[in-house]
């Protein structure tokens, strides 16, 4: 049961309120008061709503006279008392809810003005959520980092989390959806989790393009090995002649990939310090993100033209010292950024419009098949050497225990022969 305080009275005007200069509690309307108090010799005035609820007198602040006018204070008082009378919602509840809403709005504005990149959001996601859930923090963190680094960072790593689109996610997933389906599924889940967490954590209405529904736009995965389109080895020389004069970073990386037969993720991840220019070899970090998840190093012999490409890629670093080069990529879209798979595919392969024998557009991964078919048809006695060069894992752990010689000299000889075949005038 509530009641208005006292009877109807003469309302004070704004001029009369301004004229109050002494500390005290002044009634200026039916249920509206002015509280004046001295703080360090300065008079502070605020509007107060006074009402009775269940026989108890209650005072609630409506705001300082510096922030709210008398007209606004009167309107607010009437609104609060009407809500109490009609809906049984007390002014205290209403004011608390409004204060909470204002605070949330301020937080939202602050968050929206400091939207992080995907990488930054991922780091925060790890710190505030996942490290409290993972049983083995370092191992799990490395697993997430490696997959997102190899397949997502090039596309969305530096994109604000609110600006990630479905096109970005398709660009990440399509190249690996059939070839590395388990990895692609994990990558999608990781992106989905990070965006969803950030949206909920900061009360933002962010569109999440990585939800499971995106699978509807990808080829159906049947569980069987599905081969990516590759160029027949008899046509690789024709392709080489088309890209040989092009010296962009994307073209250099593509030519290097053709001559070394390694995965595009490993070529793009090649660091300057991984190349031994004197020994003419590349200490390649091979990432096998399959159900067996492992990494290892493979010494890749660099043929004559592969060496020339590596040396050409180093020209951009000619004015920098060894300290600067420590963590730099051999192929880079600028001096700090790793080259993306899409730049190689879209800027080098797509304009060529070359297809496999079924009319499908050739893929970067397909150049491994091109090499393998050349070995099987032209150098059949060296099939095992070719298998090692392709960094294929032994079929089982028993084979791995015995196959310790990685046939480096034999692979160098084979790669020089393939170099001559590919680049023949």
Check pLDDT > 50 for residue 223. yes
- Of the pLDDT bands very low, low, confident and very high (cuts 50, 70, 90), residue 211 is very high
> E strands along 194-304, which residues?
275-276, 281-288, 294-301
| Distances 100 to 93, 163, 222, 275 between C-alpha atoms, Å | 11, 28, 51, 58
**Strands 281-288 vs 24-27: parallel, antiparallel or unpaired:** unpaired
pLDDT of residue 254: 96
What tokens were used for 83? 């809500």
Q: At what angle do helices 249-260 and 304-313 cross, to 10 degrees?
A: 150
pLDDT of residue 89: 61
pTM over 0.85: no
More confident residue, 301 or 326: 301
Element (H, E) at 195: helix 181-201
User: pLDDT (tens digit, 9 = 90+) per residue, 141-178?
Assistant: 988 998 999 899 989 999 999 899 999 999 999 988 98
Q: At what angle do helices 181-201 and 137-151 cross, to 10 degrees?
A: 110
pLDDT of residue 348: 94
Domain 2-112 CATH (choose: 3.30.70.2740, 3.40.50.970, 3.30.160.390, 3.40.1130.10) = 3.30.160.390
- Of the pLDDT bands very low, low, confident and very high (cuts 50, 70, 90), residue 402 is very low
DSSP 79-115: HHHHHHHHH---HHHHHHHHHHHHHHHHHHHHHHTTP
Contact 274, 284 (CB under 8 A): yes
Taking residues 365-394, what's their average pLDDT?
88
In the block, residue with structure tokens 């509007």: 47
| Domain segments of the chain as ranges | 2-112, 118-217, 233-423
As a whole number of Å, the CA-based R_g of the chain is: 34
What tokens were used for 169? 């996610």
Of the candidate ranges 92-96, 192-196, 343-347, 354-358, the one whose mean pLDDT is the lowest? 92-96
Domain 233-423 CATH (choose: 1.10.443.10, 3.20.20.140, 3.40.30.10, 1.10.240.10) = 1.10.443.10
pLDDT of residue 331: 93
Contact 188, 145 (CB under 8 A): no
What tokens were used for 146? 């490696």
More confident residue, 385 or 337: 385
User: pLDDT (tens digit, 9 = 90+) per residue, 303-346?
Assistant: 999 999 999 999 999 888 888 888 899 998 877 788 888 889 88
One fold for both 118-217 and 233-423? Answer: no
Q: What percent of the chain has pLDDT over 90?
A: 43
Dihedral angle at the C-alpha atoms of 347, 351, 352, 354, nearest 10 degrees?
Answer: 100
User: pLDDT (tens digit, 9 = 90+) per residue, 35-79?
Assistant: 888 888 888 888 888 777 766 777 777 888 888 888 888 888 788
Check pLDDT > 80 for residue 190. yes
3-state secondary structure of 285: strand
CATH class of 118-217: mainly alpha
Q: How many C-beta neighbours within 10 Å does residue 120 have?
A: 16
CA–CA dist 146, 150 (Å, integer)? 6
Contact 312, 252 (CB under 8 A): yes
- Of the pLDDT bands very low, low, confident and very high (cuts 50, 70, 90), residue 290 is very low
φ/ψ (deg, to 5) at 304: -55, -55
């Amino acid at each position: 049961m509530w009641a208005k305080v006292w009877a109807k009275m003469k309302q004070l005007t704004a001029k009369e309120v301004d004229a109050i200069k002494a500390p005290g509690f002044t009634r200026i309307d039916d249920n509206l008061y002015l509280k004046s108090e001295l703080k360090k010799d300065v008079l502070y005035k605020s509007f107060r709503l006074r009402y009775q609820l269940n026989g108890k007198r209650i005072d609630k602040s409506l705001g300082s006279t510096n922030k709210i006018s008398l007209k606004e204070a009167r309107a607010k008082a009437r609104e609060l008392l009407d809500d109490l009378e009609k809906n049984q919602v007390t002014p205290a509840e209403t004011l608390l809810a409004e204060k909470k809403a204002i605070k949330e709005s301020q937080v939202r504005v602050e968050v929206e003005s400091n939207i992080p990149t995907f990488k930054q959001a991922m780091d925060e996601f790890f710190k505030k959520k996942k490290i409290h859930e993972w049983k083995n923090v370092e191992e799990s963190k490395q697993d997430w980092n490696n997959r997102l680094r190899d397949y997502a960072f090039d596309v969305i790593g530096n994109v604000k989390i609110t600006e990630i689109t479905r096109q970005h996610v398709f660009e990440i997933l399509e190249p690996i959806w059939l070839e590395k389906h388990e990895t692609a599924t994990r990558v999608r889940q990781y992106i989905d989790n990070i965006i969803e967490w950030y949206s909920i954590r900061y009360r933002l209405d962010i569109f999440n393009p990585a939800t499971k529904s995106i699978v509807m736009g990808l080829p159906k995965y049947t569980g069987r090995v599905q081969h990516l389109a590759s160029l027949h080895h008899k046509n690789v020389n024709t392709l080489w002649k088309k890209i040989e004069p092009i010296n962009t970073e994307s073209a250099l990386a593509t030519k290097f990939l053709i001559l070394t037969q390694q995965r595009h993720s490993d070529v793009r991840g090649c660091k300057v310090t991984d190349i031994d220019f004197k020994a003419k070899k590349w200490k390649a970090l091979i990432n096998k993100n399959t159900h067996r998840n492992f990494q290892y190093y493979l010494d890749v012999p660099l043929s004559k033209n592969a060496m020339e490409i590596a040396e050409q890629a180093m020209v951009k670093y000619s004015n920098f010292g060894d300290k600067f080069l420590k963590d730099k990529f051999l192929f880079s879209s600028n001096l700090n950024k790793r080259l993306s798979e899409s730049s190689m595919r879209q800027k080098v392969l797509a304009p060529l419009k070359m297809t496999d024998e079924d009319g499908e557009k050739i893929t970067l991964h397909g150049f491994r098949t091109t090499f393998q078919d050349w070995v099987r048809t032209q150098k059949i006695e060296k099939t095992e050497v070719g298998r090692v060069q392709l960094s294929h894992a032994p079929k089982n752990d028993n084979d791995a225990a015995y196959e310790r010689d990685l046939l480096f000299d034999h692979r160098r000889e084979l790669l020089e022969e393939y170099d001559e075949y590919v680049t023949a005038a």
